[in-house]
Structure 1
Amino acid sequence: MQNTAQEIELKFQIPAESRPLLTEALHDTVHTTTRLRARYFDTDDRLLARSAFALRLRQEGEGWVQTLKGRGDGLMVRLEHNAPLGADTGDEAPALSLERHAGTPAGVALIALLARAGRTSADLALQFSTDIARTHAEVQAEGAVVELALDVGQIQGGGQTLPVWEIEFELVRGAPAGLLSLAYLWTEAFGLWLDVRSKAERGDRLARGVTQGEVPAVRPVDPAQPWPQRVTVALSPVLALAGDVAEDLASPAQRVALAQALGVLAETLRADPHAGGAADTVAALAGLVFDAAIWRRAETQALWFNLLEWSLPDAR
């Protein structure tokens, strides 16, 4: 279990027809399967969820781990801190304590958020839970070590259940380019499609009885920023909306916001002579926000990989 300030990962949904072959491919590696039962906490008015935080207690095999995740760059990087809590105590979860994250970037950010809202840890309550079988393996790719984690199970909240079939690629060590390379190979082989919606976000929706996410702000891009930062700012709202569109869950407001975000992204890309072709592809997608299948296609996933590569700090 890493105890890191940031995690670098990508998550993908797995089409039903690809699940047996993907599972077989992962089982051909040196792998481990662990049952993960988690409980997620928030205030009654969803302060954490609205601010892109997730706070959970999770039983992982023989013990419990308290994890806090916070907003990163919205693409591949998120703040994260894990606090292992020792031996297994059965099905009864340990008490929640924010002191376990004291002094970490994620912990400092959460305490500041609660303080601004006039809330304390006493306002945090169980909102939803997950029960996941995780099959994970470490794979080398272009000098990097990447953990593959196949998650199969369910999210429970608000008296409802949502099935989970997804795979994550998390950078253990090395350059992010190695993660992108490996994830692209698996995407091509099994028809995966990128989904930045976290289990916490989907669980929060389930608990509230809604299927659609929030409409993110579409911000103009500062041309004075470095190229990777410009791509990150422009791409973030696009990916935040693409998951709901790919599942044909998006509201009209989300689809309008996606078309606007694609326009900003295309304009951003046109400012760089190397990105002209990608800019045209992005602009064309703005007219296809009602076609769910387009957002799951291999060509669209290839576009995301190109843009994610350009968002890396050493790009250009």
Structure 2
Amino acid sequence: MKIEQEIKLVVNSHQPILLSQLDLAPYQQSAVTSQDLKNQYFDTPSHRLTQQKMALRLRANKGHYLQTVKTMGTTHHQVHRRQEWEQVVPSMQLDKAHLLTTPLAPLVSDPEVWSELDVLFTTDFTRQVIQLNDGENHIELAYDRGQVSAMKKTCPIHELELELVAGAVDTLPKLAQRLMQSGQFTISEGSKAAMGYRLVSETSVPLTQTARS
């Protein structure tokens, strides 16, 4: 289990941004890396997981797969703080053995809940990442552009994530405020999962029938 601490900023324009033009002083910047991420979010038709303030995601990235359990967490001074449990898995199939080691164990050990777990929505986006370091603090800046999909409904994703890797948590709101001075960004109070649940609330039909291991 690890603690995720991050701030999300919505990009105010539909046009792509150039990371090279962002005001990121005084941080030293790594080269930009790029990933195409495909994600599936799971729940039951009655949203048993979200009722417990939990989220379950499978992610595909160039033939590598990651299963993640997250808590809804808390927000303080614009910083979202969540617990998360990650496990590398061999395919886009749920790994029940790993889930039984997480706070989802009481739910997934229930045969009825396990049989009802299915994909409710997906997110597909390109992520560009820069590592920022000032000698004391390490922040990962991720620029995500894509969409959330639930059946035939979609919602755009266009945001920055500032995640604290090491150092003082107050560096996140300071950097966020600096970036917002350009007028390009607005603080986001919601997650990609929250966007997906808003879409799926309009339909009760799951996207797929998904195999489980």
Closer/same/farther in 2, CA of residues 193 and 122 from structure 1, 3 Å limit: same
Once the two structures are TM-superposed, the CA of residue 181 in structure 1 deviates from its matched residue by 1.9
The structure 2 residue matched to 1:111, chosen from 105, 122, 132, is 105
Aligned to 1:38: 39
- More helix per residue: 1
> Gapped runs of 5+ residues in structure 2?
23-28, 204-213
Q: Where does residue 83 of structure 1 map in the other structure?
A: 87
Deviations 1:34-54 (A, max 9, x none): 000011100110122233321
Look up the equivalent residue of 2:132 and give its one-letter code. V
Query: Quick one: which amino acid aligns to residue 65 of structure 2?
Result: W
**2:101 maps to 1:127:** no
Runs of 5+ unmatched residues, structure 1: 87-92, 211-316
Per the alignment, residue 8 of structure 1 pairs with 5
Note if contact 2:65-2:88 (Cα within 8 Å) is conserved in structure 1: yes
Which residue number in structure 1 is paired with residue 158 of structure 2? 165
Q: Which amino acid aligns with 2:146?
A: G
Q: Distance in 2 between matches of 1:47 and 1:74?
A: 22
- Which whole-Å deviations, capped at 9, do the CAs of 1:78-112 have from their partners, x for residues lacking one? 111111125xxxxxx53212322443xxx12x224
CA positional deviation for 1:24: 4.1
How many residue pairs get aligned? The number is 194
Greater relative contact order, per chain length (Cα 8 Å cut-off, separation 6+): 2
The amino acid that maps onto 1:70 is T
Contact kept? 1:15, 1:191, Cα under 8 Å: yes
1:180 corresponds to: 173
Cα distance, 1:142–1:188 mapped onto 2, change above 3 Å: farther
Query: Which of 123, 136, 139 is the equivalent residue of 1:143?
Result: 136
AA aligned to 2:93 is A
Cα distance between partner residues in 2 of 1:189 and 1:142: 25
Q: Determine the structure 2 residue equivalent to 1:202.
A: 195
Deviant stretches of 4+, over 4 Å = 19-22
The 2-side partners of 1:5 and 1:121 are apart by 25
| 1:195, distance to aligned residue in structure 2 (A) | 1.2
- Partners in 2 of 1:101 and 1:113 — Cα distance? 9
Pair 1:142–1:196, CA change in 2 (3 A): farther
- 1:59-74 to 2 correspondence within 5 Å? 59-74=60-75
The TM-score with structure 2 as length reference comes to: 0.80
What corresponds to 1:94 in structure 2?
Answer: 92
How many Å separate the matches in 2 of 1:145 and 1:61? 26
Contact 1:128 1:155 in 2 (8 A): yes
> How big is the shift at 1:188?
1.6
TM superposition score normalised by structure 1: 0.56
CA distance in 1, matches of 2:146, 2:82: 23
The amino acid across from 2:47 in the alignment is: R
Q: Is the partner of 1:127 in helix, strand or coil? A: strand
* Contact 2:137/2:166 (8 A) holds in 1: yes
| 1:7 to 1:119, Cα distance in 2 relative to 1, 3 A | farther
SS in 1 for 2:93: coil
Q: Alignment identity in percent?
A: 29
SS of residue matched to 2:98: helix
Q: Max radius of gyration: which structure?
A: 1
Question: In structure 2, the residue corresponding to 1:182 is in which secondary structure?
Answer: helix
SS in structure 1 opposite 2:172?
helix
Q: How large is the Cα RMSD of the aligned pairs? A: 2.5
